[in-house]
Every structure is written in C-alpha cells, then in structure tokens.
Amino acid sequence: MKIGEMKQEDILRIQAWMDGELAPKEAARVATLIEQNPEALALSEELRVVENALHLGEKPAILDDSRDFYWSQIERKIDAEEPLLEPYAAPVLASGNLLRWMVPVGSLGAIVVLMMNYGAMNPQPQPSTPGITPDAPASTPTGLTEPAGAMEEQNAEPGGMGVINFQGSQGSRHLTDPEDPNTLPESIENPDR
C-alpha cells in the first residue's frame, strides 16, 4: 500500500495525532480519517512500529576514560574559568565605577559653582590706567559696578546662555549657518558628486 496519494497536510496531522499534539476536536477528525482511510491506517501503524522500536531504547555508550582522568580534566577547566568569573561579582568594582563617574561630575559642579559666584567674590577692579575713573555708582555698598543679580540678568537675555554669555568672545568671527544649504560641504549636499 502506498501513501503517495495522501496530502502532506493529512500525513503530518496523523503523526501529530499519534504524538498527542492535536486539540481534542482536531484529534477526533483525524481518528475518523484513520478509521475510514486504509492509507491513513497503514501510515499510523507504521509510525507506531517505529515508535515502539525506538522505545526499546538507545544503544548504551560507555566512556573509556578512567573516572579520575575524566574528572581531572573537568576540574582543570573549572579552575581555569573561575578566576575569570570572580571579578565581575566583586563589590569593589561597583564602587570603582561610582568613583570614576563622581570625579568628573564633581569637578564640573565645582567649576559651575565657581563661575556662578565669580561676580560676588570678585572685588571691583581697580583702574590700571591713571586718569580714567570708573563710573561706579556710589550707592553700591559692596563696591561692585552692578549688583551680581543684575549682571546675571543682563547676560542671560541676548544669548540665552544663562550666567555666561560667550557671544561677545566670538567677536566678529564668521560662523556658517549649519542649516543653510549653500554652506553645506559638497559631500553632504550631494554625496554623488
């Protein structure tokens, strides 16, 4: 008897039914197919025979190496790999990571604080050129030309930079507008060029 005429789908369903992989409704449908179709029945029988043969078990495989030799090789591999694993679990590394980040962040914080307080800490500069007197208002008891808060507000306005405005320091240097297509390098504007 041949199973060549059976649909591949039905063949796989029969196998799934035998393996107990089908839902109850589908299983009932396949059971009916096996009852009614001799090809399906023959296929299921053959699959059962193979399954029974396999259930006799596998041919045992025995290791030739002695117990001690086999274990010594495993032990050596364990010893070789363990030192590599330990440092990852060490808590020292966690604090090391923390310190690595804290140093630059702390330094940056200190610089920001210094800059913020620069105006308050810096006394009124003495004129270095004789004959030129600063027009400092007499009403400022600290001797500053302007109160520190007013200085910050003034600087914050035009450049939007907050405490320090670098606009003046750039002077008249010409900076290209990054969004202006005329200023884009050729390679970016047209990569095919």
- Report the chain's C-alpha Rg in angstroms: 43
Site for other proteins, residues 138 to 157, rule: CB under 8 A: none
Q: Structure tokens of 70?
A: 């086999």
* Residue 117 beta carbon to other proteins: minimum distance, rounded to whole angstroms: 54
Q: What is the CB-side half-sphere exposure of residue 83 using CA atoms within 13 A?
A: 4
In the bound state with other proteins, the residue whose beta carbon lies nearer, of 16 and 164, is 16
The H-assigned helical ranges of 24-65 are 24-36, 38-55
Helices 8-18, 24-36: crossing angle, 10 deg rounding? 110
Which among 163, 143, 139, 135 is positioned nearest to 151, based on CA atoms? 163
Q: Structure tokens of 129?
A: 């050129």
In the bound state with other proteins, the residue whose beta carbon lies nearer, of 14 and 144, is 14
Site for other proteins, residues 6 to 65, rule: CB under 8 A: 6, 8, 11-12, 15-16, 19, 21, 39, 42-43, 45-47, 49-63, 65
In the bound state with other proteins, the residue whose beta carbon lies nearer, of 64 and 135, is 64
In the bound state with other proteins, the residue whose beta carbon lies nearer, of 9 and 180, is 9
* Residue 49 beta carbon to other proteins: minimum distance, rounded to whole angstroms: 6
Using an 8 Å Cβ cutoff, are 39 and 2 in contact?
yes
Instruction: Give residues with Cβ within 8 angstroms of 143, minimum separation 6.
Output: 123, 124, 136
In the bound state with other proteins, the residue whose beta carbon lies nearer, of 54 and 188, is 54
Query: How many of the chain's residues bind other proteins (CB under 8 A)?
Result: 44
List of residues contacting other proteins (CB under 8 A) = 1-4, 6, 8, 11-12, 15-16, 19, 21, 39, 42-43, 45-47, 49-63, 65, 67, 70-71, 73-75, 77-78, 81, 85
